[in-house]
Amino acid sequence: MQLKDLYQGFRHPDTIQHLAKAIAVEAAKVAGEVNIMEVCGGHTHTIMKYGLLQLLPDNIRFIHGPGCPVCIMPKERIDHAAALASMPNVILVSLGDMIRVPGSKGSLAKFRSQGCDIRPIYDPLDTLVIAKDNPDKTVVFFAIGFETSTPMTAVLVEQVIKLQLNNVLFHINHVLVPPAIDA
């Protein structure tokens, strides 16, 4: 079996068995355990759903990590965002995957359906366009993510200052992975 065939048939039983054997060969070369932390709850779900634990050798151990920033967002933070979005003349902006996360009073999608101006974005810098197009409104950027997405928020803050946009506020919710790994 060639490598290109493996990529094309990653759900094919023969491919899975081949990969499991190849992993077992490599794992046998390691003294002790191989610890793999999956960070996101979606990863954990997939590992369980497809029985990956049963396919791998005993010295490979999955450690269930902290969860992605979206999955582990405390309901209170969603409630804060919903309260901000419910204020007059406010546009709440956040990365799209936050919109469906439930708070204690419902998701941001629910508040959006009730008339709150909540806008999912792909790129934090889209906030600049929204703020420029709506100078009479307060635009609140609901920032989420690990250390890897924090620089994007920092660039947005820098641009807001540089462009002297006085109608942009930030609700920062970045989380750190190393403390979870250390624990």
Q: What tens digit of pLDDT does each residue of 96-126 get? A: 888 988 899 999 999 999 999 999 998 999 9
Partnered with residue 119 across adjacent β-strands are 93
For the record, the structure tokens of 168 come out as: 């942009």
Give 71-103 pLDDT, tens digit per residue.
Answer: 777 899 999 999 999 999 999 999 888 898 889
Measured CA distances, 153 to 16, 53, 122, 165 (Å): 39, 37, 13, 15
pTM: 0.71
Look at residues 96, 100, 181 and name the one whose alpha carbon lies nearest to residue 145. Answer: 96
DSSP-assigned letter for residue 56: S
Look at residues 142, 165, 156 and name the one whose alpha carbon lies nearest to residue 92. Answer: 142
For the record, the structure tokens of 12 come out as: 């094919």
Tokens 């709506």 locate to 134
In sequence order, what are the residues at sequence separation of 6 or more whose Cβ sits closer than 8 angstroms to the Cβ of residue 171?
A: 77, 80, 81, 84, 140, 141, 142, 143
Average pLDDT, the chain: 87
Q: Which residue has the higher pLDDT, 9 or 48?
A: 48
Cα 63 from chain centroid?
18
Give 31-53 pLDDT, tens digit per residue.
Answer: 999 988 887 777 777 788 888 88
Q: At what angle do helices 150-162 and 126-133 cross, to 10 degrees?
A: 30
Q: What angle do CA 92, 95, 126 make, to 5 degrees?
A: 75
